[in-house]
């Protein structure tokens, strides 16, 4: 063998050892997560991207799960992309009509401004959507960018589907499950976002901070972690039917490790759960704490 062939052989051996070792470590973490899921009456999809190369732990990672309001992350990405291209401005005014503030939907904005008929900036509107999970503002923003198709085209992945806005999602039981994603797609999108491969530095930092200030889902990814831990996340929650089944209790996010500022990307989708709402959120919180402790020790 010539020197070049020897070097190539060494690289191949070293790469295989690294991947094999990483897979073994991920298998340990996966088994610990599966222990949490034992006897749980729910369909759970999980994807975790850790701090090293090829560091992926997954359970049902390539299976589709309904997104519910986690999709507000992807909607925000599509809007900020238009800001970046100069098609929209964060300072531009949006007039919120009273008739746009629908009843029977989650809307902190409507609660604070029940009569509407007022102007807010695009930046304020995105904050209402991302940080407060406001459904009415989400639909106003979707109309601004010509609907869900714009978001679908921007994400451009077969593992992500958005067809319904919030109003459509509230039409009947099945409609809330039309927008869907695989856990692996959700986690990888969070990483691409963090790596500034989707937005420029300015808009990445803006959206990251908006997600850090998310007011929903305190008992999910954040539930068992210190208040000092930085967690940028977006939750999603469905209705509960008469049989006591909740269609979706979700949380996706970025956890920053305090020791070295490295980040973990985590997507957890609890689907068709017959567990109590509290216990379903606890599933997410326990997995999040397990993952945090696993990587924080490293």
Residue with structure tokens 């209402």?
Answer: 128
| Whether 137 contacts 125, CB under 8 Å | yes
pLDDT score at 2: 65
Q: Work out the number of other CB atoms within 10 angstroms of the CB of residue 150.
A: 18
Separation CA 101–CA 190 (nearest Å) = 30
Mean pLDDT computed over every residue of the chain: 93
Whether residue 24 is predicted with pLDDT greater than 80 in this model: the reply is: no
Joined together, the tokens standing for residue 217 give: 């889902």
Per-residue model confidence as pLDDT tens digits over 169-193: 999 999 999 999 999 999 999 999 9
DSSP per-residue letters across 242-265: TTS-EEEEEEEEEEE-TTT--EEE
Give the SS3 label for residue 213.
coil
pLDDT score at 54: 87
Helix or strand (DSSP H, E) at 58 = strand 56-59
Give the SS3 label for residue 235.
strand
| Whether 61 contacts 182, CB under 8 Å | yes
State the catalytic residue, choosing from 47, 69, 216, 238: 69
Q: What is the mean pLDDT of residues 54-77?
A: 97
Separation CA 46–CA 55 (nearest Å) = 14
Whether residue 6 is predicted with pLDDT greater than 90 in this model: the reply is: no
Separation CA 9–CA 202 (nearest Å) = 43
In sequence order, the 6+-apart residues with CB closer than 8 A to the CB of 28 are none
| Whether 238 contacts 68, CB under 8 Å | yes
286 counts as catalytic: no
> What are the boundaries of each domain within the chain?
39-297
Per-residue model confidence as pLDDT tens digits over 250-269: 999 999 999 778 999 999 99
CATH fourth-level superfamily of 39-297: DD-peptidase/beta-lactamase superfamily (3.40.710.10)
In sequence order, the 6+-apart residues with CB closer than 8 A to the CB of 64 are 159, 161, 180, 181, 182
Any alpha helices (H) in the chain, and if so which ranges?
3-37, 71-84, 108-112, 122-130, 135-144, 148-155, 166-169, 183-194, 201-212, 277-297
Instruction: Look at strands 231-237 and 246-256 and give their pairing.
Output: antiparallel
pLDDT score at 10: 54
Separation CA 110–CA 101 (nearest Å) = 6
State the catalytic residue, choosing from 47, 133, 166, 281: 166
Per-residue model confidence as pLDDT tens digits over 194-241: 999 999 999 999 999 999 999 999 999 999 999 999 999 999 999 999
Q: What is the mean pLDDT of residues 78-99?
A: 98
pLDDT score at 17: 41
Q: What percent of the chain has pLDDT over 90?
A: 87
166 counts as catalytic: yes
Separation CA 21–CA 37 (nearest Å) = 25
Separation CA 92–CA 69 (nearest Å) = 25
Q: What is the mean pLDDT of residues 63-71?
A: 98
């Amino acid at each position: 063998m010539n020197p070049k062939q020897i070097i190539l052989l060494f690289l191949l051996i070293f790469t295989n050892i690294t991947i094999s070792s990483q897979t073994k470590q991920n298998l340990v973490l996966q088994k610990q997560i599966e222990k949490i899921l034992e006897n749980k009456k729910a369909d759970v999809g999980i994807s975790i991207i850790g701090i090293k190369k090829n560091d992926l732990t997954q359970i049902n990672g390539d299976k589709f799960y309904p997104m519910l309001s986690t999709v507000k992350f992807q909607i925000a990405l599509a809007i900020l992309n238009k800001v970046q291209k100069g098609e929209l401005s964060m300072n531009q005014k949006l007039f919120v009509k009273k008739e746009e503030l629908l009843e029977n939907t989650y809307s902190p904005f409507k609660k604070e401004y029940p009569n509407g008929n007022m102007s807010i900036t695009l930046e304020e509107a995105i904050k209402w959507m991302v940080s407060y999970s406001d459904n009415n503002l989400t639909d106003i923003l979707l109309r601004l960018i010509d609907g869900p198709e714009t978001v679908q085209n921007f994400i451009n992945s077969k593992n992500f589907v958005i067809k319904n806005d919030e109003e459509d999602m509230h039409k009947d039981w099945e409609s809330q499950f039309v927008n869907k994603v695989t856990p692996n797609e959700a986690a990888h999108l969070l990483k691409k976002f963090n790596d500034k491969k989707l937005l420029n530095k300015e808009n990445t930092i803006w959206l990251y901070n908006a997600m850090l200030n998310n007011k929903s889902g305190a008992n999910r990814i954040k539930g068992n972690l210190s208040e000092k831990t930085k967690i940028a996340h977006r939750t999603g929650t469905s209705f509960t039917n008469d049989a006591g089944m909740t269609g979706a209790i979700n949380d996706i996010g970025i956890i920053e490790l305090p020791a070295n500022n490295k980040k973990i990307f985590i997507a957890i989708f609890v689907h068709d759960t017959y567990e109590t709402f509290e216990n379903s959120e606890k599933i997410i919180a326990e997995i999040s704490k397990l993952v945090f402790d696993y990587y924080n020790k490293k």
